[in-house]
Amino acid sequence: MFEIRTDLALETREMYKENKQQEIPGVEVEKYEKDIATITYVKVLDEQGSQIMGKPKGVYITIESKSLKQADSDIKDKMSKLLAEELVQLVPKKKKFKTLVVGLGNWDITPDALGPQVISKVFVTRHYFEAYGKIEDPTMRQVSAIAPGVMGTTGIETVDIIKGIVEKTQPDLVIAVDALASRRMQRVYTTIQISDTGIRPGGGVGNKRKELSKETLGVPVLAIGVPTVVDAATLTNDTIKLVIEHLCEQSEKGSQFYNLLKEISDEDKYALIRDALEPYGANMIVTTKDIDTIIRNISQIIANAINIAIHPGIDLKDVNRYLR
Amino acid sequence: MFEIRTDLALETREMYKENKQQEIPGVEVEKYEKDIATITYVKVLDEQGSQIMGKPKGVYITIESKSLKQADSDIKDKMSKLLAEELVQLVPKKKKFKTLVVGLGNWDITPDALGPQVISKVFVTRHYFEAYGKIEDPTMRQVSAIAPGVMGTTGIETVDIIKGIVEKTQPDLVIAVDALASRRMQRVYTTIQISDTGIRPGGGVGNKRKELSKETLGVPVLAIGVPTVVDAATLTNDTIKLVIEHLCEQSEKGSQFYNLLKEISDEDKYALIRDALEPYGANMIVTTKDIDTIIRNISQIIANAINIAIHPGIDLKDVNRYLR
Amino acid sequence: MFEIRTDLALETREMYKENKQQEIPGVEVEKYEKDIATITYVKVLDEQGSQIMGKPKGVYITIESKSLKQADSDIKDKMSKLLAEELVQLVPKKKKFKTLVVGLGNWDITPDALGPQVISKVFVTRHYFEAYGKIEDPTMRQVSAIAPGVMGTTGIETVDIIKGIVEKTQPDLVIAVDALASRRMQRVYTTIQISDTGIRPGGGVGNKRKELSKETLGVPVLAIGVPTVVDAATLTNDTIKLVIEHLCEQSEKGSQFYNLLKEISDEDKYALIRDALEPYGANMIVTTKDIDTIIRNISQIIANAINIAIHPGIDLKDVNRYLR
Amino acid sequence: MFEIRTDLALETREMYKENKQQEIPGVEVEKYEKDIATITYVKVLDEQGSQIMGKPKGVYITIESKSLKQADSDIKDKMSKLLAEELVQLVPKKKKFKTLVVGLGNWDITPDALGPQVISKVFVTRHYFEAYGKIEDPTMRQVSAIAPGVMGTTGIETVDIIKGIVEKTQPDLVIAVDALASRRMQRVYTTIQISDTGIRPGGGVGNKRKELSKETLGVPVLAIGVPTVVDAATLTNDTIKLVIEHLCEQSEKGSQFYNLLKEISDEDKYALIRDALEPYGANMIVTTKDIDTIIRNISQIIANAINIAIHPGIDLKDVNRYLR
C-alpha cells in the first residue's frame, strides 16, 4: 500500500491519515508529553489494522525528543530513564528471567552500528551465573548479548544465527536493537521506537520466516529502534511533494495545470524518482556529518535503559557505573 | 550565477552548456581517454571565463574513473600512476624544491577526512634534511605536511595557520588536498580534480583573502580534490528536473501544461527546495554507507601519486613501501 | 609444565629444547625457506608429544616473515599466496564443500580485532547459493562467516554460539581466525600459525569442552592465528633471564654468586614477576603504537589467502577484487 | 641523572628520595586529599632543584585518582571540577584574555591521541569573536585550538608550527595537552599533571629551543598531561628491582650474594635491559587493552575542565552542553 520506506509505525499511520483523512481502522493512538519527550502509543488491535499498517498486531511506542542527539550527560540520563520506564512495562513481571540482547546491523558501517554499539555497552551477566552455578541473584538478572552481523557479511539469515543461540541458552526474552530508516529527516536521531512485535533484520516488510519474533524464536521479542538515515528516494519524494503543493497553491483551483499536477499519483512519482536515483546504487543514504558521535551517545542511552529495566539492583543513580 | 553547489570546474561548465547551449567564452576544454580513465582539461583563459565560472584563471584537470573506489590493488596502482603523471606537469621542473602538503578537512568526520588521511600517508622528509643539515638528495625532495583542522574546530582561518607555517618553513610549493562536493552522485568517489589555482578551505566561492593561493601564501598552490558528498538540496533539485522532463515528454509540446512546467525557473525551484530542506540543518549530506573504506583507499592513491610526483627516487614499483 | 604464556607450538617446542637440550619425544620438526618466509612444521605425532606440548595431536605450521607487517602491496600479495598454499593442503579435496569462517576476538579492542576484521573482508557467498537454490558453482564455494564476540561481551561460551550456527548451516569445515599471544616480541606481527587441531577462544590450554574442534563441533576446525601481543610478565621474565645470563658470564663459574643465580628456578622467577605485576591488572599488554594499521594489513592478507584457498575461481591476480 | 623515562615531576622526585633518602634541595612538596583525589604540589624553587629534577622552575600539580579511568558520568564531572579548580589558579585573572589550546600527539595512534581528542571537544569561540568584530563577551572568552600533529608526520618541529600560529593570532595564554609516559603502570590513566612551565613535544628533556614555553612562544604555557603508557624498558627495570629486592630479603645481609646484588648499579641494569629490548624497536609500549574508551573518557574530562576554567559563563551544571 505505502511503498515509501519507513520503519516507524508512527509514520505509516501519519501517511495513511494524510491520504485518507481518517484514522486507520483497528488502530488506536494515544499521545502525551512527559518531561522532555513526546510519547505516542500506536496500538494495532486487529487483523485489518495490521494489514493496512503492514505491521504485526501489538503496541508501538515512540519516544520523540530533539534532545536525544545531545551530548549533555544530564539529558542522556533523562532519556535513559524515560526509555527504561517504557521498557519496564514490557519485560516479564517475574523475579527471575533470562534476557538475550541482540544488536542488529554492521559494526563497520557507522549509520548501521547502533545495535552492535549497544551490545558492547550492555551489562552482561550470564557467564557469572554460569561460573558460580547460580540461577538467581537479588541485584542482577541473567543477561547475554550478541551482535550477529548482517547477511551481507555472514551469508546466513540472522534469524538462523539467533535461533541457534536461543536453543543453546534458553532465554525468556529477546531484546533486539536496530538502526531504522525514517521517512522524515527530522526524526533521524530524535526518535526511539519500542515494540513488542519483533523485528525484521534489515528493515522493511516481507518474509515472516526471517523475522525475529515469538513465532520464529519461541520467546517474546522486544524491538528497540532509532532512525539513523532517510533513504534518498524518500527525501526527494517528500521534497517534490512540497514543491508541487507550492505550485498548486499558486495556480487557481480548477485550472488545467492544477488538475494535471493533482493527477500525478504518489505511486507514479515515487517510481519516477526511484528510476532517476537508481544509477547511484542502493547504498545511497541521507544522514548528517556528525553521525559517529551521535550514534555513540544514543547507544549509551539505550544500553543504560536496558540495564535499568532488567537488573533490579541498577537505577539511574549508578547506571553509568555499569557501562563498558 | 549558478547557485547549485559544486566544487568541480567540469560541472560548472556542464551546467553552463546545458543552460546556454554553448561553450563558456574564455574557457577551453580538452578531453581524452587514458587507460581506465577519462581526463578532461578545463582551461580558464581570461577574466570573462573566470567570472562566468566563478573560479580563478588556470587549468582544472579532472580524472574520472569508476575504478577509483575499488579496493583492487592493481587498479589503485594504475590510478596513482595516472594522477602522478598529471601532477608531474604542474610541479617545478627543478632539481631541488620544498613542498608543503596541506590536508584540509576534519579527521573526525569521515566524509571530510580525505585530506588528513592523505597527510598521514604521505612520505615526509623535511625533518631528515634538517637533522642532517642537508639541502639536496638524489632520491628525495624535502616534504613537510600538515592537517590544520577546520575553522569550526580551530577558531582560526586555515589560511592564517598555513601562512604561519609557510613563513617558518619556506616551501616552494603547497599541495592542498580536500574533500569536495559534487552536483551529481555518480561523480562521488569516481573523480579527482587537480588545479593550479589554489583552493578555498570549506569549498564554495567567496572571500579571496581566505583562499590558499599564490596571492595569499606567496607560493604556487596545487589543489587536489575528490567529491565525497552531494548536498541534499542539489540531489533533490536534479531529481525534480528529471521528473519534470519526464512529465514534459508525456505532454504535448505547446500544451498549456508543458509551458507551465517550462516556466518554473531553475532559481525558483532551487529556492523552493532549499526552503523545504532547511529545517533538517546544514549538516545533511548524501553519501554511501561504505564511505570509511572508500576514503581510506582513495587517500592511499593520492598519497602514492604525490610521493611518485615529488621524490625522484620513488616510482610505481616501490611506492607502497613508502606508505605509512 | 611451561607456565609462560604462548599460543605458538613453535615456541613451546623452543622452550622445551632450551631447557632439556633435546627434541620433544613424539614431535617432529621440519623447517625450510620459501620466498620471503621461513616455514616450520611442528607435527605432534602421539599422546606423549601432545601431553608435553600441552596441545592436541596434529600439525602446526608457522610462517615467519618480517615482511608480514609491511604495508607494501606486492609483499602483501606474496604473503597471501604463501598462506594460501599452506591452507590449500588442509582444506577438503572435494569439488563442493561448505566453509564457516569464525573471527574470534573483540572488534572494539584493536589488538584483539584481527578475527573480526578478517570476517569483514572474507568473500561470503552462502546467501547467493541459498537465494538461487544452488548447491554447486564452478568458480565459488559456499562460504559463511561470523564474528561471535568474546565471552566478556556476550556472556555465552563461544563454542555454544558456533555450535548453534553449525547445526543450522551444516558446514563441512570451520576456519577460526584469532589474535594470539607470543612469548617473544620479535614474533608479534611477523608470524602466522595454522593448525588442523582446532582452537580455544581466549587462548591458553584448558577445558576441552570450550574448544572449537572436531570433538565439540563435529566438523574439522582449521585455526589461523597471528601474535599481536606479548604479555607483560612474559616479556619481563625473558629480559630478566638475559640480565642474569649476563651477570653469570661476568662472574666466575663455580663462584658462590654464579651458583646462587643458577639456583633460582624458572618457576620461582615467573611467580615473582607475576606477583610484582599483579596490581596493574590483567589487561596489561605489550604491543606497538602503530597497531591499527598493522592489524588492518594482516587481516587483508589472511582474508585474501582464505579467498584463494577456498574459491576455485579466485587467484592471486584478481584476489583484491573480492576484498570488501 | 635519572635515565629512566618519566614525564611526571612527582616520579622524578620519588626516585630521588628512594635513592638519596632525602628531599631534593630547592624543591618543596605539598600533598593533600580532596574529594576522590590526592593532589600533590611539587614546587621547583631554584636552579639547583631545577637541575636535579631535569625540569624548569615552576609548579607541578598532580591529581591522582583511580576514578579517572571510570566511565561513570558523575565521577567524570567530579574530576572535571577538580581539574578546573587547579587550572583556574593558573590562568590570567583578567576580564578578557585569549587562549590557544594545543593538542600534542598523533590522532591516528590511540595512546598518543589524547591531545587531539581534547582539541576536538574543547569549546572554540575565536571565530565568533572575529565574525562579529567583538573583543569581549560576558559569558565567553576567546579560545582557539589546534592539533598540529607530530614531527614524524609533519616533518616540522611542533614549536615552529605553534610559533607561526601564535604570531598570527596573538593569544595571551597557551594550554598544551599531551599524553605522557610514566614510570609506573599504576599511574597510567589515574594521574593528571598540570604545570606552568611549558612542555617539550614528544616528552623527555632536551633542546630548549624545541619546547613550547614562555621563552620560545613569548606567552605563558600551561601544560596538562596524562600518562597513557609505560615504556617496556622501564617496566622491566622496576620489576627486576622488585625481584632483586626479594632475593636480597632471602639472603643474609652481609653475605657475598647480598653484596653482589647490591653492587649492580641502577645505570648498569637499565643499560642491560635497553640492550635486551632493542631488537623489538622503539615503538614498543606497555598499555591496557581498553585504551580507546579510556582515552575518550579522559579527553572529555580535560576538555570540560578547560571549558569551565576559561569561560565565565560555563559551570559544571551545563558543561556537557558545550562538548562537541
Q: Do C272 and D243 touch (CB under 8 A)?
A: yes
pLDDT of A276: 59
Is the pLDDT at A203 greater than 80, yes or no? Answer: no
User: Which amino acid would we find at residue C297?
Assistant: N
Give A229's strand partners: A181
Whole-angstrom CA distances from D107 to A50, A270, D252, D281, D299 are 51, 44, 52, 21, 12
pLDDT of B252: 61
Q: Are D161 and B167 in contact (CB under 8 A)?
A: no
Q: Do B71 and C293 touch (CB under 8 A)?
A: no
Tell me the residues of chain C between 154 and 213 that have a Cβ less than 8 Å away from chain D.
185-186
Tell me the residues of chain B between 103 and 132 that have a Cβ less than 8 Å away from chain A.
108-112
User: Among A206-220, B269-283, B301-315, D176-190, which is the least confidently predicted range?
Assistant: B269-283
Give D62's strand partners: D40, D193
* Owner of C-alpha cell 608435553: C52
Chain B's closest residue to A261, CA to CA, is B257
Please give the CATH superfamily to which domain A9-233+284-309 belongs.
HybD-like (3.40.50.1450)
Cα C27 to chain centroid distance, Å, stands at: 19
How many whole angstroms separate alpha carbon D39 and alpha carbon D65? 9
Instruction: Tell me the chain D residues in contact with residue A293 when contact means C-beta distances shorter than 8 Å.
Output: 324
pLDDT of B223: 96
Instruction: Tell me the chain D residues in contact with residue B145 when contact means C-beta distances shorter than 8 Å.
Output: 149, 153-155
DSSP C252: P
Is the pLDDT at A77 greater than 80, yes or no? Answer: yes
pLDDT of C1: 33
Can you state the percent helix, strand and coil of chain C, rounding each to 5?
Answer: 45, 20, 35
Tell me the residues of chain D between 69 and 98 that have a Cβ less than 8 Å away from chain A.
70-74, 76-77
Closest CA to C119 of C165, C181, C57: C165
pLDDT of A216: 95
**Angle at which helices A232-250 and A256-263 cross, to 10°:** 160
Is the pLDDT at D132 greater than 60, yes or no? Answer: yes
Report the DSSP pairing between strands C191-195 and C58-64: antiparallel
Cell of A324: 563498558
Taking the Cβ of residue A149 and every Cβ of chain C, the question of whether any pair is shorter than 8 Å is answered with yes
Which member of A145, A151, A157 has the closest CB to residue C154? Answer: A145
pLDDT of B283: 57
List pLDDT tens digits, range C213-267. Answer: 999 999 999 999 999 888 666 777 666 666 666 666 666 665 655 666 566 666 6
Q: Do C124 and A168 touch (CB under 8 A)?
A: no
The percentage of chain B sitting over the pLDDT mark of 90, rounded to a whole number, equals: 48
User: Which amino acid would we find at residue B137?
Assistant: D
Query: How many C-beta atoms surround the C-beta of residue D254 within 10 A?
Result: 7
Q: Are C19 and C30 in contact (CB under 8 A)?
A: no
Interface with chain D: mutation pick from B153, B162, B210, B300, highest number of D CBs within 10 Å: B153
Average pLDDT over every residue of A104-131: 92
Instruction: Tell me the chain D residues in contact with residue C296 when contact means C-beta distances shorter than 8 Å.
Output: none
How many whole angstroms separate alpha carbon A53 and alpha carbon A2? 9
Q: Are B274 and B233 in contact (CB under 8 A)?
A: yes
Q: Do C70 and B321 touch (CB under 8 A)?
A: yes
Taking the Cβ of residue B249 and every Cβ of chain A, the question of whether any pair is shorter than 8 Å is answered with no
pLDDT of D42: 95
Question: In the structure, what pLDDT confidence band is assigned to residue A249 with cuts at 50, 70 and 90?
Answer: low
Identify the three-state secondary structure at position D300. Answer: helix
Is the pLDDT at D206 greater than 60, yes or no? Answer: no
Is the pLDDT at C212 greater than 90, yes or no? Answer: yes
Q: Are C166 and A194 in contact (CB under 8 A)?
A: no
Q: Do B155 and D143 touch (CB under 8 A)?
A: yes
User: Among D1-5, D290-294, D309-313, which is the least confidently predicted range?
Assistant: D1-5
Query: Residue D99 class from Cβ within 10 Å (0-12 exposed, 13-18 middle, 19+ buried)?
Result: buried
Average pLDDT over every residue of A54-79: 87
Average pLDDT score over chain D: 84
Q: Are B11 and B187 in contact (CB under 8 A)?
A: yes
Q: Which residues contact A132 (CB under 8 A, 6 or more apart)?
A: none
Instruction: Tell me the chain C residues in contact with residue D251 when contact means C-beta distances shorter than 8 Å.
Output: 260
Question: In the structure, what pLDDT confidence band is assigned to residue C309 with cuts at 50, 70 and 90?
Answer: very high
Question: In the structure, what pLDDT confidence band is assigned to residue A287 with cuts at 50, 70 and 90?
Answer: confident
Interface with chain B: mutation pick from C66, C74, C295, C299, highest number of B CBs within 10 Å: C74
Question: In the structure, what pLDDT confidence band is assigned to residue C71 with cuts at 50, 70 and 90?
Answer: low
Chains that touch B (3 or more CB pairs under 8 A): A, C, D
Identify the three-state secondary structure at position C14. Answer: helix
How many whole angstroms separate alpha carbon C305 and alpha carbon C224? 11
Is the pLDDT at D286 greater than 90, yes or no? Answer: no
Question: Over chain B, what HEC string results?
Answer: CCCCCCCCHHHHHHHHHHHHCCCCCCEEEEEEEECCEEEEEEEECCHHHHHHHCCCCEEEEEEECHHHHCCCHHHHHHHHHHHHHHHHHHCCCCCCCEEEEEECCCCCCHHHCHHHHHHCCCCCCHHHHHHHCCCCCCCCCEEEEECCCCHHHHCCCHHHHHHHHHHHHCCCEEEEEEEEEECCHHHCCCEEEEECCCECCCCCCCCHHHCECHHHHCCCEEEEEEEEEEEHHHHHHHHHHHHHHHHHHHCCCCCHHHHHHHHCCHHHHHHHHHHHHHHHCCCEEEEECCHHHHHHHHHHHHHHHHHHHHCCCCCHHHHHHHCC
pLDDT of D58: 93
How many whole angstroms separate alpha carbon C154 and alpha carbon A103? 11
pLDDT of C215: 93
Q: Do A73 and D73 touch (CB under 8 A)?
A: yes
Cell of D217: 612562544
pLDDT of A3: 47
Taking the Cβ of residue B320 and every Cβ of chain A, the question of whether any pair is shorter than 8 Å is answered with no
Output Rg (C-alpha) for chain D, integer angstroms.
21
The percentage of chain A sitting over the pLDDT mark of 70, rounded to a whole number, equals: 77
Q: Do A156 and C126 touch (CB under 8 A)?
A: yes
Average pLDDT over every residue of A73-77: 83
User: Among C4-13, C96-105, D43-52, D164-173, which is the least confidently predicted range?
Assistant: C4-13
How many whole angstroms separate alpha carbon A31 and alpha carbon B156? 47
CB-defined contacts A:D, below 8 A = 29
How many whole angstroms separate alpha carbon C216 and alpha carbon A36? 52
Taking the Cβ of residue D138 and every Cβ of chain B, the question of whether any pair is shorter than 8 Å is answered with no
Q: Do C146 and A145 touch (CB under 8 A)?
A: no
Question: In the structure, what pLDDT confidence band is assigned to residue D105 with cuts at 50, 70 and 90?
Answer: very high
Is the pLDDT at B244 greater than 70, yes or no? Answer: no
Rounded to the nearest 10°, the torsion over CA C1, C2, C6, C8 is -60
Taking the Cβ of residue D151 and every Cβ of chain B, the question of whether any pair is shorter than 8 Å is answered with yes
DSSP C212: B
pLDDT of B182: 83
Domain segments of chain A as ranges: 9-233+284-309
Instruction: Tell me the chain B residues in contact with residue D145 when contact means C-beta distances shorter than 8 Å.
Output: 149, 153-155
- Confidence (pTM): 0.83
Question: In the structure, what pLDDT confidence band is assigned to residue A288 with cuts at 50, 70 and 90?
Answer: confident
Closest CA to D70 of D300, D229, D230, D304: D300
Q: Do A324 and D71 touch (CB under 8 A)?
A: yes
Average pLDDT over every residue of A67-84: 86
pLDDT of C83: 96
How many whole angstroms separate alpha carbon B208 and alpha carbon B56? 10
List pLDDT tens digits, range B21-64. Answer: 888 999 999 999 999 999 999 999 999 999 988 888 999 999 99
List pLDDT tens digits, range B144-200. Answer: 999 999 998 999 999 999 999 999 999 999 999 999 888 777 788 899 999 999 998
List pLDDT tens digits, range B192-235. Answer: 999 999 998 876 545 667 899 999 999 999 999 999 888 666 77
Q: Do C76 and B73 touch (CB under 8 A)?
A: yes
Phi, psi (deg, nearest 5) at residue D2: -105, 115
Which member of D186, D232, D273 has the closest CB to residue C286? Answer: D232
Chains that touch D (3 or more CB pairs under 8 A): A, B, C
pLDDT of B1: 33
List pLDDT tens digits, range A258-283. Answer: 666 566 666 666 666 666 565 555 55
DSSP string computed for C78-118? HHHHHHHHHHHHHS--SS--EEEEEE-S-TTSGGG-HHHHH
